[in-house]
Structure 1
Amino acid sequence: MNLKSQAIKITATLAAAFPLAFAAGTACAQTNPTPQPAPAMPAAATGLALAQQQNCMSCHSVNRTFMGPALRDVASRYASTPDAQTYLAHKIMEGSSGVWGAVPMPANTQLSPGQAATLAGWILTLR
């Protein structure tokens, strides 16, 4: 599934879930005046949105090699690595060179450790 069709699928899922969440919230408000937190965004949508927001998709694609490796290939390579999420989060924050070819990946110092962990976890779901 390419990135565009994945984004369309996620958007459609969220659009379908919104009326149900609204109806549930309305029913809850009638019986319980305590405000309820908004439902969490699915992990796939959160990871993709963060990757787009932080410009990861300028060099990476989910399914094809661009300037950097396809994220699905990264997930496949590290799927069986112990502590893969921690390892990838470190690589995302600190940068890397020579692992996937001659083009180095710069350090992403604008990311918090939590954001890097979110991105790494999302990448690992792509295999």
Structure 2
Amino acid sequence: MKKITLLLMLATVQAAFAAPSLSAKETAAAMELAKSNGCLSCHALDEKIVGPAYSKVAAKYSDDKDAAASLAQSIRNGSQGKWGRIPMPSHGTMSQDDINLLARWVLTIK
């Protein structure tokens, strides 16, 4: 009984720290949002353009349980100094749902 309880606790902890997953529909919607809002003008999936590659962002925040909220805040308000001197502009006209989806999507990029 103790072994089963321990295994269930370990599984719960692993699930809590696993990278967020998205459905195929959410992934396609997030990619379309990134394209239509100019995100891909400064970011790419796996290489630095003006801003960091999304894979680098996901790796940096992989152990942060509040990463999605932090990224969403940076998307909404813009940010400066996290990845260098060039600031990221704010995207305050996007809906919070779209911003949240983008943030969760970025964290899935490997």
Aligned-pair CA distance for 1:113:
1.0
Q: Which has the larger radius of gyration?
A: 1
Aligned-pair CA distance for 1:98:
0.7
Corresponding position of 1:69: 52
TM-score of the superposition, structure 2-length normalised? 0.75
Q: What CA deviation, in whole Å up to 9, does each residue of 1:96-115 have, x standing for no partner? A: 00110010001111111111
Corresponding position of 1:83: 66
Q: Distance in 1 between matches of 2:93 and 2:68?
A: 19
Q: Distance in 2 between matches of 1:46 and 1:83?
A: 22
Aligned-pair CA distance for 1:41:
5.8
The answer for unaligned runs of 5 or more in structure 2 is 1-22
Alignment of 1:109-124 (within 5 A): 109-124=92-107
Q: What CA deviation, in whole Å up to 9, does each residue of 1:33-91 have, x standing for no partner? A: xxxxxxx8622111111100111001111110000000111011111102211111011
Q: Distance in 2 between matches of 1:46 and 1:77?
A: 24
What is the letter of the counterpart of residue 88 of structure 2? M
Q: Distance in 2 between matches of 1:110 and 1:56?
A: 14
Aligned residues: 88
2:30 to 39, 47, 55: 47
CA RMSD for the aligned pairs?
A: 1.3
Q: Relative contact order, CA 8 A, sep 6+: which one is greater? A: 2
TM-score of the superposition, structure 1-length normalised? 0.66
What is the letter of the counterpart of residue 105 of structure 2? W
Corresponding position of 1:29: none
Q: Percent identity?
A: 36
What is the letter of the counterpart of residue 53 of structure 1? S
Q: Distance in 2 between matches of 1:126 and 1:76?
A: 9
